[in-house]
Structure 1
Amino acid sequence: MSLNLSILLASLGGFIALALAMEKHCKHLLRHVLSPLWMRVLRTAGWLLLAVALVLSLQHLGWSIGVTAWFGWLSIAGVVLVFYLPKWPWQPAPSKGAPRRKENPASVDSALAQQPAERLHWLRRLATGVLLLVPVAVLGLLLTAAPKPLHSDAAVQGQVGPWTFTLAEAQRKAPRQVLGTPFKAFEVRFCETCDDQIRAAYLKIRKPRSLRAAGLVFSGNRWDRLVEIQIPAKAKLSDGLWLTVEGKDGSVHHAAVDIAEASPALAEFIARQQ
Structure 2
Amino acid sequence: MAQRSDNWWQRNKFKLNGLVLILPFWFLYEAMNPVFPKSWPTQTIGPFTVTPTPLTNDAPYQHHGDWVKDFSLQFCEGCVANIRQAYMAIAAEQPALEDFAETDLSILHGSSFAQHVHAKATAQPKAGDKVWLLIEDWQGKLHVGSWDWPQS
Bin for the TM-score computed over the shorter chain: 0.5 to 0.7
Match of 1:199 in 2: 84
Unaligned runs of 5+ in 1: 1-140, 261-266, 269-274
Equivalence for 2:94: 208
Task: Pick 1 or 2: higher relative contact order, CA cutoff 8 A, min separation 6.
Answer: 2
Amino acid aligned to 2:71 = F
1:184 aligns to 2:75 (yes or no): no
8 A contact 2:88–2:134 mirrored in 1: yes
Contiguous gaps of at least 5 residues in structure 2:
1-28
Q: Distance in 1 between matches of 2:95 and 2:57?
A: 29
- AA at the equivalent of 2:41: V
SS at match of 1:196: helix
Counterpart of 2:56 in 1: which secondary structure? coil
User: Is the 2:59–2:124 contact (alpha carbons within 8 Å) kept by the matching residues of 1?
Assistant: no
Alpha-carbon shift at residue 223 of structure 1 (Å): 2.4
Alignment identity in percent? Answer: 26
- CA deviations 1:247-274 (Å, max 9, x no partner) are 11211100011111xxxxxx53xxxxxx
Q: Which of 123, 145, 150 matches 1:255?
A: 145
Aligned partner of 2:39 in structure 1 is 154
Partner of 1:238: 128
Does the residue aligned with 1:213 lie in a helix, a strand or coil? helix
1:145 — aligned with what? 33
Q: Following TM superposition, by how much is the alpha carbon of 1:225 offset from its aligned partner in structure 2, in angstroms?
A: 1.1
Question: TM-score, normalized by length of structure 2?
Answer: 0.62
**Which residue does 1:226 correspond to in 2?**
116
Alpha-carbon distance, 1:228 to partner: 1.2
| Partner Cα separation in structure 2 for residue 196 and residue 177 of structure 1 | 31
Instruction: Name the counterpart of 1:169.
Output: 54
Equivalent residue letter for 1:237: A
Deviations 1:157-179 (A, max 9, x none): 11111210110111232333458
CA distance in 1, matches of 2:90, 2:134: 11
Matches for 1:20-169 after TM superposition, within 5 Å = 145-146=33-34, 149=36, 153-169=38-54
* TM-score, with structure 1 as normaliser: 0.37
Q: Aligned residues, how many?
A: 119
SS of aligned partner of 1:238: coil
Q: Could you tell me how far apart the structure 2 residues matched to 1:158 and 1:222 are?
A: 18
Structure whose residues are more often strand by fraction: 2
Change (3 A) 1:249 1:187: same
Bigger fraction of residues in helix: 1
Q: 1:153 to 1:229 in 2, by over 3 A?
A: closer
Partner of 2:110, secondary structure, is coil
What's the C-alpha RMSD, in Å, of the aligned pairs? 3.1
**Shift in Å, 1:196:** 1.9
